[in-house]
Amino acid sequence: MGKIIVGLKRVIDYNVRVRVRPDGSGVETDGVKMSINPFDEIALEEALRIKEQGNADEVIVLSIGASESQQQLRTGLAMGADRAILVETSTNLDPLSITKVFQKIITQENPNLVILGKQAIDNDNNQTGQMLAALLEWPQATFASKISFSDGKAQVTREVDTGLETIEVTMPAIITADLRLNEPRYVKLPDIMKAKKKPLEIIAFEEFGITPKNTINILNTEPPEQRQKGIMVDNVTALIEELENKGLV
């Protein structure tokens, strides 16, 4: 199959309770544990399994963001990726600008498969995979929960609203990983030490000649309202009365 490129995004660890800044300008990130976006970690695990099965020669992890994203790329290398690329920028990019960077890297590297997480847990946009397939004019299979290969094609089981759907896409293709695709492996200390010697290329975002056009302007960020304390009722009649009082029935 050749190369597989996997996108990794740096996000607040999913085990951390997110706190909104006092001025409402966003969420607090100073001193907060950051990790690989969970769906991206699943995507990487699947790419590594594909390589271990003899269906790929190289796995490349790619991230777009601040220099701190090197930490997540090193984690990806420790999991088993062969090399890493960081497109460094301090600008908060919109999904289309991110997609255009992916497109240029993919054109340079010429992979046969790109696997992304279906969405990032910080903004839940769920756009990059679909837009990337459109720009490259490649087949796409989103929300994958199972992937297999035969005769130069990928058979992908997708999680859809009505259950499961299995489709076949020709290679090269874009696949986005869903939660039940696999369980990522545990990174061991020796693998972390080996990852320090693996190549990590840093490219300035400006080299791609892309002008970000962010059409979304966040005016304010607020935490959700605290849930009201529940009440206990003695019987069904009392339950119906309370629901009627609240205008729910």
Q: How confident is the model at residue 91 (pLDDT cuts 50, 70, 90)?
A: confident
Please give the average per-residue pLDDT across 91-120, as a whole number: 93
Of 75, 81, 74, 79, nearest to 111 by C-alpha is: 81
Residue 233: inside a domain: no
pLDDT at 100 over 90: yes
Instruction: Specify the CATH number for the domain of residue 41.
Output: 3.40.50.620
pLDDT at 23 over 80: yes
Residue 131: inside a domain: yes
Q: What is the pTM of this model?
A: 0.86
Instruction: Judge whether 115 and 175 are in contact, CB under 8 Å.
Output: yes
Residue 204: inside a domain: yes
Residue 28: inside a domain: yes
Please give the average per-residue pLDDT across 121-142, as a whole number: 94
Q: Which residues contact 174 (CB under 8 A, 6 or more apart)?
A: 114, 116, 129, 132, 133, 136, 138, 139, 140, 141
Residue 247: inside a domain: no
How many structural domains are present in the chain?
Answer: 1
Provide the percentage of residues in the chain whose pLDDT is more than 70: 100
Alpha helices by DSSP H, listed for 110-179, are 128-136
CA angle, residues 152, 130, 113, in degrees to nearest 5: 30
Q: How confident is the model at residue 231 (pLDDT cuts 50, 70, 90)?
A: confident
Of 176, 209, 179, nearest to 5 by C-alpha is: 176
What local confidence, expressed as pLDDT, does residue 212 receive?
A: 81
Residue 177: inside a domain: yes
pLDDT at 165 over 80: yes
Residue 13: inside a domain: yes
Residue 40: inside a domain: yes
pLDDT, the chain, mean: 92
Q: Which domain holds residue 159?
A: 3-217
What local confidence, expressed as pLDDT, does residue 93 receive?
A: 86
Please give the average per-residue pLDDT across 67-81, as a whole number: 95
pLDDT at 246 over 90: no
